[in-house]
A = this chain, B = another copy of it.
Amino acid sequence: MFFTTKAEYGVRLLIELGRQPQDQPVSLKAIADAEGLPLAYLERIVALLKRADLVESKRGAHGGYHLARLPEHIAMDEVVLALEGSLAPMECFVDDRNDDGRVLCSHHDDSGRGCATKLLWTRVQVGVLKTLAHTTLAELVDFQTRQLHPKTPTPA
């Protein structure tokens, strides 16, 4: 299994926020009900998103969460990275994180012995990060909206 439910639930949470008007906050309870997810667990997940400056919160009654930016400017690499902690394809890839979320193999002084697989895992990791980076939240919101109301056929 690639990703845990943290990523799944977190992305669904963001989609839910993206479908709402941005001016007033949405409570976690509302999201949990709408998506059928456990509220207490969502709390911990949304905390990750907040720490990564992807959502903002308003406390107290009638409080809740809203996106920190427009859905068009939220790319999935940032989201998944925030939720999963890192995207290391293998144990030996230690969290020596670069600017683009890439993570490196710690066996660099092994003279290659024992880590010739490095080439393979690195290729996979970079591929995944690219795929994620090219998918925005706006796209996913749009995708779901079209699935629920299939009136307007996909415009290319």
B11 pairs with A117, CB closer than 8 A: yes
Contacts of A135 in B (CB 8 A): 119-120, 123
Knowing A76-B120, A127-B130, say if A114 contacts B35 (CB, 8 Å).
Answer: yes
> A50 contacts the other chain (Cβ, under 8 Å)?
no
Count, chain A residues at interface, CB 8 A: 43
Contact with B along A104-133 (1 / 0, CB 8 A): 000000011110110111011101101110
Q: List 22 A-B contacts (CB under 8 A).
A: A1-B88, A1-B89, A1-B90, A2-B121, A2-B128, A8-B90, A8-B91, A8-B92, A12-B114, A12-B117, A15-B117, A36-B114, A76-B120, A111-B147, A112-B144, A116-B144, A117-B140, A119-B135, A119-B143, A124-B131, A127-B130, A128-B128
